[in-house]
């Protein structure tokens, strides 16, 4: 669920779950059809497959007790976490990372490692603003679901009711867009988009320009036939929020999601603005393929799918708000968490995933990665922020940290997502 072009261990990216690249047509994409015995596709099929029914909700593993769900964060456990994080940092050659792990009655672990700026050697610190990539999707879908609660939209409304010109728009529902089951082509996997972006990463993109990259491709499958992580879906949902609310998406999210959630350092930028202090970001998603500093690149190409900025403190709070549904009615939150099979080991609901009981999202866009998780049984929170999106052995770097950390604090619930096949 990320917004990567050449790899996506999403998933959480700009765009993020861990599954779909953000860009280049050469990049492989995970698609998941539970009814097809765990098959994967890496290219768009020549013809749309026969629709298959949506899979049944994927139950989370049965909890034991809260005390068994999460390790006591003793000094000894903290040292284990330090060692595990430093190992990932060194092996994957990640510049810097910020980590927070906590649970009521279990203690708190907040650390930063490595550097925030290669040029100056400035250290990573827990107070830095970071680009959060596809964690943006959780805010956009929350905005949509608030409109559902207000009776202004219906999850089973067709997207054609709100946006003209969408392939299969009379049959693709808002629910299928939020659940990554529309069958639309991912604009960030279009070769023309990739070239346009890497040629000039400072340029702004409009939502319609992004949709144009998608809609020139045939649909990949019939609505609801399978899971396919696709940034196009979120661009459409962002347009729905704007049309129904009569308010620009960034303003609506700020007023109706960010402020009510009590978040102080979370924003939806209109351009490349990036409040200080922030870490420098490093990516190899470049025209040359060489690592470059992407800190001030314009994230408009991610828009509703991946443009937002936040910090550790806000995301620790947001993890709980998101997973517990504070801003929504219980009925709507239940629909959000009604996950179906997405990729092996993970279920995807409405702009949210469940990986071994951990609920949340990941994110990735050029130069940055994020992971925002909540484990309801233990009321535990895990947030990881890093200043690169460069994969290691075809894994999203946020996945490497998530797996290393959960092996220590919740060994029966290890956060793990499959590596993307090399393109």
DSSP output for 107-148? EEEEEEEEBS-TTT-PBP-TT-BEE-GGGHHHHHHHHHHHHH
Question: In whole angstroms, what is the distance from residue 44 CA to residue 64 CA?
Answer: 42
Q: Give the pLDDT confidence score for residue 60 in this predicted structure.
A: 40
How far is C-alpha 158 from the chain's CA centre? 24
Q: How do the pLDDT tens digits run along the chain, 423 residues long?
A: 454 433 333 333 334 433 333 332 222 233 444 333 222 222 222 223 333 333 333 344 444 444 568 999 999 999 999 999 999 999 999 999 999 999 999 999 999 999 999 999 999 999 999 999 999 999 999 999 999 999 999 999 999 999 999 999 999 999 999 999 999 999 999 999 999 999 999 999 999 999 999 999 999 999 999 999 999 999 999 999 999 999 999 999 999 999 999 999 999 999 999 999 999 999 999 999 999 999 999 999 999 999 999 999 999 999 999 999 999 999 999 999 999 988 888 999 999 999 999 999 999 999 999 999 999 999 999 999 999 999 999 999 999 999 999 999 999 999 999 876 554
Give the CA dihedral 160, 163, 167, 168, nearest 10 degrees.
-20
Q: Give the pLDDT confidence score for residue 418 in this predicted structure.
A: 85
Q: Give the pLDDT confidence score for residue 344 in this predicted structure.
A: 85
Closest CA to 217 of 342, 49, 43: 43
Q: Give the pLDDT confidence score for residue 53 in this predicted structure.
A: 34
Whether residue 277 has a cis bond before it, omega within 30° of 0:
yes
The DSSP line for 49-74 is: PPP-PPPPP-PPPPP--HHHHS----
- Specify the long-range contacts of residues 169-172, CB closer than 8 Å, at least 24 apart: 171/222, 171/223, 172/223
Q: Give the pLDDT confidence score for residue 397 in this predicted structure.
A: 97
- Under 8 Å CB-to-CB from 403, ≥6 apart: which residues? 414, 415, 416
Q: Give the pLDDT confidence score for residue 210 in this predicted structure.
A: 98
Q: Give the pLDDT confidence score for residue 73 in this predicted structure.
A: 98
Is 380 in contact with 101 (CB distance < 8 Å)?
yes
How far is C-alpha 117 from the chain's CA centre? 24
The reported pTM is 0.88
Is 214 in contact with 187 (CB distance < 8 Å)?
yes
CA-angle at 204, arms to 200 and 205, nearest 5°: 105
Question: In whole angstroms, what is the distance from residue 188 CA to residue 133 CA?
Answer: 13
Count CA within 13 A, CB hemisphere, residue 233: 34
């Amino acid at each position: 669920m990320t917004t990567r072009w050449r790899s996506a261990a999403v998933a959480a990216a700009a765009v993020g779950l861990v599954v779909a690249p953000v860009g280049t047509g050469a990049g492989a994409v995970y698609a998941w059809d539970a009814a097809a015995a765990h098959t994967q596709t890496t290219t768009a099929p020549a013809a749309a497959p026969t629709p298959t029914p949506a899979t049944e909700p994927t139950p989370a593993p049965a909890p034991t007790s809260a005390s068994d769900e999460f390790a006591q964060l003793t000094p000894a456990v903290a040292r284990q976490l330090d060692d595990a994080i430093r190992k990932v940092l060194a092996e994957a050659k990640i510049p810097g990372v910020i980590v927070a792990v906590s649970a009521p009655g279990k203690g708190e672990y907040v650390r930063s490692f490595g550097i925030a700026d290669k040029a100056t050697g400035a250290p990573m610190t827990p107070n830095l603003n970071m680009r959060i990539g596809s964690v943006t999707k959780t805010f956009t879908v929350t905005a949509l679901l608030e409109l559902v609660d207000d009776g202004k939209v219906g999850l089973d409304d067709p997207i054609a009711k709100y946006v003209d010109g969408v392939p299969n728009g009379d049959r693709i529902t808002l629910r299928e867009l939020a659940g990554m089951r529309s069958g639309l082509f991912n604009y960030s996997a279009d070769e023309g988009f990739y070239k346009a972006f890497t040629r000039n990463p400072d340029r702004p993109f409009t939502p319609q320009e992004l949709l144009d990259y998608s809609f020139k491709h045939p649909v990949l499958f019939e609505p609801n036939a399978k899971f396919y992580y696709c940034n196009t879906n979120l661009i459409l949902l962002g347009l729905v929020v704007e049309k129904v609310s009569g308010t620009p998406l960034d303003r609506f999210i700020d007023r109706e999601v960010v402020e009510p959630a009590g978040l102080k350092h979370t924003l939806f930028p209109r351009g490349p603005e990036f409040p200080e202090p922030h870490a420098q970001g490093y990516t190899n998603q470049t025209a040359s393929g060489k690592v470059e500093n992407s800190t001030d690149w314009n994230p408009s190409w991610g828009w509703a799918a991946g443009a937002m900025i936040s910090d550790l403190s806000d995301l620790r709070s947001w993890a709980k708000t998101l997973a517990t549904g504070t801003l929504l009615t219980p009925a709507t939150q239940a629909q959000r968490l009604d996950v179906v099979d997405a990729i092996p080991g993970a279920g995807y609901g409405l702009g949210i995933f469940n990986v071994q009981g951990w609920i949340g999202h990941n994110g990735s866009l050029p130069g940055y990665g994020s992971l925002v998780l909540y484990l309801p049984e233990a009321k535990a929170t895990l947030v990881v922020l890093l200043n690169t999106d460069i994969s290691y052995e075809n894994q999203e770097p946020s996945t490497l940290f998530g797996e290393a950390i959960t092996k220590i604090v919740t060994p029966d619930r290890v956060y793990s997502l499959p590596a993307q096949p090399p393109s």
